[in-house]
């Protein structure tokens, strides 16, 4: 196969790793290029979106992860890009202004450090041979040595290693070849130390990802680990990838859950992203995340609205008098609308919700929890 043919296969196989989350708007959704590569949206610091070239270096893999469609015993067409091929084709896209940056991962070729050496080689070629100073996100391979991980961190704008499940008990259901403590938790803690505030690599953004619905885990378990990743390890982002039934091994535990239809699994992923946003942007504590008796989030109502329904004493919020923190607790109001309210109040009272651009289902939701006096 030539480079483009390999890239089509490897870019396709990289789509299960959601460590660049897709938005709900058209500009925030991933797009497929004419040459077969997947382009993923990235929010830029000054607003707007650009795209990442996202691919695997190889879809050959020695691991047996039950949820993974390219695990060692899967019947798929295997191929591998050379570091020089990957660097050259990426720079071609950069010169044509087709992409903003690179997201590079890989199946495990031979062993973790051999794979990391090849992944890091791509980044080293881009940085030192091609003089590329832009965005590079490298996936750290589970079980990689400290030296290989530090090498990745030194070359990347962002690094990530998938935590996969909340805890060893859940993890052991999905893999017999990887060790949760030494292959996952050890490198995650190392990445945290290497990128901590005041460290040499403090500008590098660490991230991780849960595979949702593959190991019979509850949302309460994921939320607990999520708080630890943010509050104790200072990770930049936590991502979620809904396990898609039929892609993994036929005995995968998550497929045994009654009612785990694709719609429910993807809605569960969506609710976890909403919780993530409440933690990062709204200052929610772990006690603010309300779960049902089984330890899971409600699927038919967003977690902010669930909190509001459990705290009637907080409502109604008075739009013309409330501070920003109170406004943000109104389901249907976000940071942009809250800021607009505060700015509008500098010049006079707000008379109608519609004057703020709130309409439709969102308007009906806001009216349940806020009033204009």
Question: pLDDT for 53-86, tens place per residue?
Answer: 888 999 989 888 888 888 888 888 899 999 999 9
> Which DSSP state fits 138?
E
Degrees to nearest 5, angle at CA 126 with 9 and 234: 85
Instruction: For 268-320, write each residue's pLDDT tens digit.
Output: 989 999 999 999 999 999 999 999 999 999 999 999 999 999 999 999 999 99
Same structural domain for residues 190 and 317? Answer: no
d(CA 3, CA 190): 34
Please report the pLDDT score of residue 2 as a whole number: 86
- CATH code of the domain containing 264: 3.20.20.70
Q: What pTM did the predictor assign?
A: 0.86
Closest to 271 in 3D by CA, of 291, 251, 252 = 291
| Strand duo 101-105 + 135-139: pairing | parallel
**237-242 vs 205-212, strand pairing mode:** parallel
Residue 292 lies in a domain: no
Number of domains within the chain: 2
Cβ(13)–Cβ(59) below 8 Å: yes
Residues 227 and 89 in one domain: yes
Same domain (yes/no): 29, 168: yes
* Domain around 322: 312-371
134 and 196 inside one domain: yes
Is the CB of residue 34 less than 8 Å from the CB of residue 117?
no
Task: Determine the Cα–Cα distance for residues 295 and 279; give it in Å rounded to an integer.
Answer: 18
| In the predicted structure, residue 232 carries a pLDDT above the cut 60 | yes
Q: Give how far Cα 131 sits from Cα of 116, 138, 337, 344, Å.
A: 21, 17, 42, 47
Give the mean pLDDT of 342-370.
93
191 shares a domain with 94: yes
């Amino acid at each position: 196969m030539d480079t483009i043919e390999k890239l089509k296969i490897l870019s396709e196989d990289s789509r299960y790793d959601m460590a660049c989350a897709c938005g709900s708007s058209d500009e925030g959704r991933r797009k497929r290029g004419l040459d077969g590569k997947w382009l993923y949206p990235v929010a830029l610091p000054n607003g707007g979106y650009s795209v990442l070239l996202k691919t695997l270096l190889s879809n050959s893999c020695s691991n047996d992860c039950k949820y993974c469609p390219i695990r060692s015993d899967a019947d798929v067409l295997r191929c591998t890009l050379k570091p020089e091929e990957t660097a050259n084709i990426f720079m071609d896209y950069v010169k044509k202004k087709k992409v903003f940056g690179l997201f590079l991962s890989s199946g495990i070729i031979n062993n973790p450090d051999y794979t990391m050496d090849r992944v890091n080689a791509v980044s080293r070629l881009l940085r030192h041979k091609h003089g590329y100073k832009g965005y590079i996100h490298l996936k750290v391979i589970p079980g990689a040595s400290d030296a290989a991980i530090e090498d990745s961190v030194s070359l990347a704008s962002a690094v990530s290693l998938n935590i996969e499940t909340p805890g060893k008990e859940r993890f052991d259901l999905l893999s017999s070849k990887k060790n949760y403590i030494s292959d996952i938790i050890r490198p995650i803690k190392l990445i945290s130390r290497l990128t901590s505030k005041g460290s040499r690599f403090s500008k590098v953004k660490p991230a991780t990802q849960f595979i949702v619905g593959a190991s019979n885990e509850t949302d309460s378990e994921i939320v607990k680990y999520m708080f630890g990743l943010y509050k104790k390890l200072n990770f930049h982002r936590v991502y979620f990838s809904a396990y898609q039934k039929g892609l993994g091994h036929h005995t995968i535990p998550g497929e045994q859950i009654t009612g785990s239809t694709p719609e429910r699994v993807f809605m569960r992923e969506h609710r976890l992203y909403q919780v993530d946003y409440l933690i990062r942007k709204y200052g929610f504590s772990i006690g603010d995340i309300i779960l049902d008796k089984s330890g899971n989030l409600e699927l038919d109502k967003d977690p902010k609205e669930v909190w509001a329904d459990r705290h009637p004493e907080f409502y109604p919020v008075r739009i013309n008098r409330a501070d920003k923190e109170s406004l943000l607790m109104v389901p249907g109001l976000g940071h942009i609308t809250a800021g607009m309210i505060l700015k509008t109040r500098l010049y006079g009272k707000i008379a109608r919700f519609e004057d703020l651009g709130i309409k439709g289902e969102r308007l009906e939701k806001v009216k349940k929890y806020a009033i204009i006096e």
